[in-house]
Structure 1
């Protein structure tokens, strides 16, 4: 079988939105080639760092790749992708060059070549993320391993925003806390919360693919008994109280439901947010404060920000 490799040359700020467009077009996963990773000063305290080749990355901007079956409608699909990418500018998301290219890939090449990007990586004191095909043995009894199949969608869980959220969960989640994950994507934050001791997690996403991915990944990690999964738009229609809400989505979306998050949390309840580029953090802080939250921690990693807010 032949596959079409669709490559979108864009900006780091647009990666999440472009990835979602490709998922909606039928991709089961994406590969993100960001040259920033070559310049990153890695925190080696959490484990081994794998050598990367500059030839695998663009000289500037970011390339997001997806693989779609080659068929008679691929040209129309690519044009639809292009139009949706161009529309991102109306949401104040810079798209950069926004160049889209198409290449033919044979199934046997695609099925194995992309796996070179994914290795086990320890992203916090307790949590290591590993692809399903890698054999990984925990280094100690307190280490928690999350297995992901990047082919299911939404990448490997090592994006800076995901790392920031998981570190915040590890720091602030109390045993038996009830958690809501808004915009669950692959379900990695829900899985992390369940493994860290949450009594229950409600995982929600508007994207049907995300809902399916979260279900499959929760089963893979044997936490499906703790995680309820629902297709839903943000917190609309949700009235069950919880001790913690976590959301790793765009800043422009977070500011829309800070009031709803405040209403669901008890006094001292926490709202962990990320997916926020540095330039947008003040917008999110302002929205949180207007809703009644107190900002208790801000962390940054590679120009991305996470904010932990408490209901007072």
Structure 2
């Protein structure tokens, strides 16, 4: 089968909504090509991504590559994708250059070429993320290894929003905690919570592909006995009882369920939010405080913000 690679030149802010548009349009995989991955200091203070070729990366913004089967509907699909991405500006999302190009790839190239973007990376004091096809030897006895198969959909955890989330989990997850992961994506935060000692993790995502990806990666890391993945809209219909809720998602989405998160947390529980751009920082902070949370930490990596809020005991 022949495939067409659709490449969108956009912004970090638009990664999540553009990726969702591509998935909903039938893309069999999405690759995020972020030049920040080339900067050892920017990716993480703890390690780096190795052997990446700078010529594959844009000077600014990101490339989002999607793979669509070449058929008689391809033209209509591409037109619909362009229209949906253009409509993101109505939601105050910066789509940057929004330059879209299409090229043809054969199935063999499609199934292997994207792997060159993913290498092992140490993202916190304890945690290193490795793609399944890479060989890696731990450098210390207490190093925690997360093995991921991104499934050409959600990356391998090196984006600053994920790094910030995992660093917060490392600090606030306690042995035996019940954790809710809202917008689980590849399941990397679910896995991190389990390996850090959580006794039970519920992973929720509206995207069926994400739920499948989470399930696969959880099994790869042998923590399936402590988690459940479910297709769900945020925390709608979810029972209270979490000691910690983590959500690496757009600020606009976080704002929609702050109140729900507060009521689903046990007293003294933590709400870790990430995926917040600078322009939304104050709005998210105010909403958290308005709903009763105490702000414990505000952290930043590159242009991204994460917050740790606590429900009073």
TM over 0.5: yes
Cα offset, 1:48, TM superposition = 4.6
Greater displacement, 114-123 / 244-253: 114-123
* 8 Å contact from structure 1 (residues 175, 198) kept in 2: yes
Give the TM-score taking structure 1 as reference length. Answer: 0.95
Cα offset, 1:113, TM superposition = 2.0
Equivalent residues in 2 for 1:143-154 (5 A)?
Answer: 143-154=143-154
Equivalent residues in 2 for 1:18-97 (5 A)?
Answer: 18-38=18-38, 41-42=41-42, 46-97=46-97
- Equivalent residue number for residue 116 of structure 2: 116
Cα offset, 1:278, TM superposition = 1.5
- Equivalent residue number for residue 210 of structure 1: 210
- Equivalent residue number for residue 201 of structure 1: 201
Cα offset, 1:114, TM superposition = 1.6
* 8 Å contact from structure 2 (residues 183, 234) kept in 1: yes
- Equivalent residue number for residue 136 of structure 2: 136
* 8 Å contact from structure 1 (residues 28, 151) kept in 2: no
- Equivalent residue number for residue 278 of structure 2: 278
What SS class does the counterpart of residue 119 from structure 2 fall into? Answer: coil
What SS class does the counterpart of residue 72 from structure 2 fall into? Answer: coil
Q: 2 CA distance for matches of 1:44 and 1:80?
A: 37
Q: 2 CA distance for matches of 1:133 and 1:153?
A: 16
Shift in CA distance, 48/255, structure 1 to aligned 2, threshold 3 Å: closer
RMSD: 1.7
* 8 Å contact from structure 1 (residues 273, 306) kept in 2: yes
* 8 Å contact from structure 1 (residues 40, 302) kept in 2: no
Q: 1 CA distance for matches of 2:120 and 2:265?
A: 35
Deviations 1:130-159 (A, max 9, x none): 111112222222111111112252111111
What SS class does the counterpart of residue 179 from structure 1 fall into? Answer: strand
Cα offset, 1:45, TM superposition = 5.5
Deviations 1:55-79 (A, max 9, x none): 2122333221111222221111111
Greater displacement, 235-244 / 196-205: 235-244
- Equivalent residue number for residue 8 of structure 2: 8
Q: 2 CA distance for matches of 1:214 and 1:32?
A: 18
- Equivalent residue number for residue 191 of structure 1: 191
Cα offset, 1:189, TM superposition = 0.5
* 8 Å contact from structure 1 (residues 152, 213) kept in 2: no
- Equivalent residue number for residue 165 of structure 2: 165
- Equivalent residue number for residue 245 of structure 2: 245
Q: 2 CA distance for matches of 1:48 and 1:33?
A: 16
- Equivalent residue number for residue 295 of structure 1: 295
Cα offset, 1:240, TM superposition = 2.8
Q: 1 CA distance for matches of 2:205 and 2:52?
A: 33
Cα offset, 1:234, TM superposition = 0.7
Greater displacement, 139-148 / 193-202: 139-148
Structure 2, unpaired ranges of 5+: none
* 8 Å contact from structure 1 (residues 248, 273) kept in 2: yes
- Equivalent residue number for residue 179 of structure 2: 179
* 8 Å contact from structure 1 (residues 199, 226) kept in 2: yes
Give the TM-score taking structure 2 as reference length. Answer: 0.95
Q: 2 CA distance for matches of 1:99 and 1:82?
A: 10
